[in-house]
């Protein structure tokens, strides 16, 4: 993939450190007085999301990580493989539950997702900010008991469980904010 | 004119006013020089067509005038340092640099305190020796710490490839990063004086030769001033230049031609003790405006 030196460091540059891909989130040039210059860098490990701080001597050379961000369409899953497709070339990219984590709750077929690839393999998948999902199970209507605070759990077609208002029925289409996991509104089928 | 350029100009006027009132003569010296700096960690911009270099400071031009004309001098002007770019680094910046005969580095620190007051920076300044600051932070005196001790400290405090650090000076440079981030530095204005001899620059050594008559002023962790009680012996000056070239060679940097003209001026003139200091003006402005980075100032 090639390498860069510290004077090319900036936010967004992807580096390979100890075998893992990292993203530079902060880069500070430090040069005390007439001394040697350093770069103090905050990095996010793209595999485990942890943030670390490292200091590099000015001029030090580092390997670039082959990391790209791409938009892929979610196709389907067979319980062990989750299949995405690149709509530009119809190429299929497969990933698993341990990469997807919580994202699996919001994956609806045909929806576009932001996928981070490292050496052409997915290391993280971001669902769209909002997704419309159907309710497959929930308790029916009002029970006349307002002490519950006006919400009840509902299971959606992906298996995700969200808090919804009491008037929501099975088969209704709901708009969900995937970032907070919250019900936003009902969606009227066109 | 942007608001900040106006403020920068006003600050420069005040600095000039203070220096003129104190009987220092203002001079304007060349920006294009024949020789590059020999300081090992500073790089000049070169004008290839003319084989000249943009100055990294006014140091030797000012020193020549002080020694030959026997006057206190100052200059406020642009200086240029290649590859120094960051939140508080500019490749082109403005510096106030001045030199005074018969004054010690301690005298200069006192002068800077009153200069700060004059321009409206009312921080109470602390005055601490490098030894004290180092010992408080790391539990060991700098002169008793072996290179191995220093490397241990570096490993403990930073995630850095310390095998890349060559020589004791670089180990101290690395630890300075840690010092500047401590609460003591972030919350105060501090004069640090009596640097380890490895970091002497062009300053005279103290009576304790493990330390040198060098000081720096830090305000909120930002280095604002560097000052020396200057070397007056031509042989010692020549030795310093040669050490710097040795340092450059060790790191694969080009060596700089010896500033023989300056060495000769020292040899010819019986120069009495004198001290000098240089101050970064944009950084001073940042402190006055309580910002931590230049892009919050939008100067250029």
Chunk chain B into consecutive blocks of 10 residues (it has 300) and report each block's average pLDDT, rounded to whole numbers.
82 97 97 96 95 97 97 98 92 97 98 95 92 96 96 93 90 92 92 96 97 97 96 97 93 92 96 97 94 82
Give the whole-angstrom CA distance, residue B149 versus residue B140. 9
**Looking at the predicted structure, is the pLDDT value of residue A147 above 60?**
no
Q: Which residue has the tokens 């969900």?
A: A176
The band of A146, judged by pLDDT with boundaries at 50, 70 and 90, is low
The pLDDT assigned to A190 comes to 57
CB < 8 Å to B180, chain A: 30, 32
How far apart, in Å, are the Cα atoms of A47 and each of A103, A148, A156?
15, 41, 29
Q: Using an 8 Å CB-CB cutoff, list chain B residues near A33.
A: 176, 199, 216, 223, 226
What is the 8-class DSSP label of residue B9? H
Q: Is the pLDDT of residue A145 over 70?
A: no
Q: Is B196 exposed, middle or buried (0-12, 13-18, 19+ CB in 10 A)?
A: buried
Looking at the complex, does the CB of residue B167 fall below 8 Å from at least one CB of chain A? Answer: no
**pLDDT of res. B3:** 77
Mapped onto helix, strand or coil, the DSSP state of residue B82 is coil
Distance CA A25, CA B209 (A): 44
**Which of A17, A20, A30, A52 to mutate to probe the B interface, most B CBs <10 Å?**
A30
By C-alpha distance, the chain B residue nearest A35 is B173
The CB-based long-range contact list for B22-27 (8 Å cut-off, 24+ gap) reads B22/B111, B23/B72, B24/B72, B24/B73, B24/B74, B24/B98, B24/B100, B25/B71, B25/B72, B25/B73, B25/B74, B26/B73, B26/B74, B26/B75, B26/B76, B27/B61, B27/B62, B27/B65, B27/B73, B27/B74, B27/B75
**Please, which residues bridge with residue B100 across strands?**
B275
- Is the CB of B177 less than 8 angstroms away from the CB of A38? yes
Q: Please tell me the distance from the alpha carbon of residue B83 to that of residue B93, in angstroms, as a whole number.
A: 13
Contacts of A53 in chain B (CB under 8 A): 159
* Per-residue tokens: A17: 């450190």
Q: Which tokens is B241 given? A: 């230049």
Q: Which residue has the tokens 């710097």?
A: B244
Whether residues A54 and B173 touch (CB distance < 8 A) is answered with no
Cβ–Cβ contact A35 with B under 8 A: yes
Tell me which chain A residues have a C-beta less than 8 angstroms from the C-beta of B176.
Answer: 32-33, 35
C-beta atoms surrounding A119 within 10 Å: 12
Contact A6, A58 (CB under 8 A): yes
Predicted TM-score (pTM) of this structure: 0.84
Q: Can you give the pLDDT at residue B4?
A: 81
Q: What angle do CA B153, B156, B159 make, to 5 degrees?
A: 115
Question: What is the model's pLDDT at position A1?
Answer: 79
The percent helix, strand, coil of chain A (3-state, each to 5) is: 10, 55, 40
Q: How confident is residue A144, by pLDDT bands cut at 50, 70 and 90?
A: low
Whether residues A54 and B160 touch (CB distance < 8 A) is answered with: yes
Helices marked H in chain A — which ranges?
97-100
**Structure confidence by residue, pLDDT tens digits, A87-123:** 999 999 999 998 998 899 999 999 999 999 999 899 9
Structure tokens, A167:
């008037």
> What is the chain A residue with the closest CA to B167?
A36
Size of interface A-B (CB pairs under 8 A): 72
Look up residue A6 and give its two tokens: 């510290």
Confidence (pLDDT) at B189: 95
Chain position carrying tokens 């009840």: A152
Chain A hits for B97, CB-CB cut-off 8 Å, are none
In 3D space, the residue among B17, B48, B216 whose CA is nearest the CA of residue B126 turns out to be B216
What pLDDT digit, counting tens, does each position of B64-74 carry?
999 999 999 99
Tell me how far apart the alpha carbons of residues B117 and B6 are, in angstroms, rounded to a whole number.
Answer: 20
CA distance A127 to A177: 10
Q: Cα(B22)–Cα(B217) distance, rounded to whole angstroms? A: 21
- The Cα–Cα gap between A125 and A110 comes to 15
The sign one gets for the Cα dihedral A144, A149, A155, A158 is positive
User: Which residues of chain A does B170 touch, with a Cβ-Cβ cutoff of 8 Å?
Assistant: 35-36, 57
Q: Is A87 helix (H, G, I), strand (E, B) or coil?
A: coil
Give how far A45 is from chain B: nearest CA, Å. Answer: 15
Secondary-structure breakdown of chain B: helix, strand, coil percentages, each rounded to the nearest 5:
45, 25, 35
Q: At what angle do helices B167-180 and B147-157 cross, to 10 degrees?
A: 30
What was the pLDDT predicted at A158? 93
For A157-183, the DSSP string reads: TTS-EEEEETT--TT-EEEEETTTTEE
Please say if the pLDDT value at position A149 is more than 80.
no
Q: Testing the interface with B: which of A36, A37, A40, A54 to mutate, by most B Cβ within 10 A?
A: A36
Q: According to the model, what pLDDT value does residue B26 have?
A: 98
Integer Cα distance of B78 and B96 in angstroms = 9
Supply the pLDDT for residue B31: 98
What three-state secondary structure class fits B217? strand
Interface of B with A in 196-235 (CB under 8 A): 199, 201, 216, 223, 226
Q: Which of A7, A33, A57 sits opposite B226 (nearest CB)?
A: A33
CB contact under 8 A, A31 and B41: yes
Distance from C-alpha of B88 to C-alpha of B77, rounded to nearest angstrom: 18
pLDDT confidence of residue A128: 93
Instruction: Provide the Cα torsion A28, B92, B225, B168; round to 10°.
Output: 60
Q: Coil, helix or strand for A36?
A: coil
């Amino acid at each position: 993939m090639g390498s860069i030196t510290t004077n090319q460091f900036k936010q967004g540059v992807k580096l390979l450190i100890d075998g893992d891909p990292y993203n530079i989130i902060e880069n500070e040039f430090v040069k005390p007085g007439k001394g040697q210059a350093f770069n103090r860098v905050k990095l996010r490990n793209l595999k485990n999301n942890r943030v670390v701080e490292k200091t590099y001597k000015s001029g030090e050379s580092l390997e670039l990580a082959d990391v790209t961000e791409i938009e892929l369409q979610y196709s389907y899953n067979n319980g062990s493989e989750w299949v995405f497709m690149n709509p530009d070339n119809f190429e299929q990219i497969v990933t698993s539950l341990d990469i997807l984590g919580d994202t699996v709750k919001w994956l609806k077929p045909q929806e576009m997702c932001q996928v981070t690839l490292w050496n052409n393999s997915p290391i993280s998948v971001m669902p769209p900010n909002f997704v419309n999902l159907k309710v497959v199970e929930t308790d029916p209507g009002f029970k006349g008991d307002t002490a519950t605070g006006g919400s009840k759990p509902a299971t959606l077609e992906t298996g995700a469980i969200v808090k919804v208002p009491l008037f929501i029925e099975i088969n209704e289409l709901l708009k969900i904010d995937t970032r907070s996991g919250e019900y936003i509104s009902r969606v009227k089928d066109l | 004119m942007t608001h900040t350029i106006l403020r920068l100009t006003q600050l420069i006027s005040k600095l000039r006013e203070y220096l003129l009132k104190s009987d220092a003569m203002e001079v304007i010296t060349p920006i294009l020089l024949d020789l590059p700096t020999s300081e090992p960690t500073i790089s000049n911009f070169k004008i290839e067509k003319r084989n000249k270099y943009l100055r990294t400071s006014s140091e030797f031009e000012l020193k020549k005038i002080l020694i030959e004309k026997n006057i206190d001098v100052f200059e406020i002007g642009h200086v240029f340092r290649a590859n120094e770019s960051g939140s508080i680094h500019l490749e082109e910046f403005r510096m106030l640099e001045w030199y005074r005969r018969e004054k010690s580095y301690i005298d200069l620190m006192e002068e800077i305190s009153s200069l700060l007051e004059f321009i409206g920076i009312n921080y109470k300044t602390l005055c601490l020796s490098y030894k004290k600051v180092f010992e408080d932070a790391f539990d060991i005196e700098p002169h008793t710490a072996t290179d191995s001790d220093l490397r241990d400290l570096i490993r403990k405090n930073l995630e850095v490839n310390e095998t890349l650090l060559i020589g004791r000076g670089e180990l101290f440079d690395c630890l300075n990063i840690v010092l500047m981030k401590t609460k003591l530095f972030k919350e105060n204005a501090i004069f640090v004086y009596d640097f380890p001899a490895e970091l002497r620059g062009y300053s005279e050594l103290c009576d304790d030769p493990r330390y040198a008559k060098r000081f720096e002023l830090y305000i909120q962790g930002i280095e604002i001033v560097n000052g020396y009680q200057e070397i007056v012996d031509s042989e010692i000056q020549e030795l310093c230049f040669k050490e710097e070239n040795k340092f450059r060679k060790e790191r694969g940097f080009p060596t700089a031609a010896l500033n023989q003209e300056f060495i000769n001026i020292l040899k010819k003139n019986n120069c009495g003790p004198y001290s000098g200091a240089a101050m970064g003006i944009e950084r001073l402005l940042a402190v006055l405006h309580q910002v931590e980075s230049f892009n919050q100032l939008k100067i250029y």
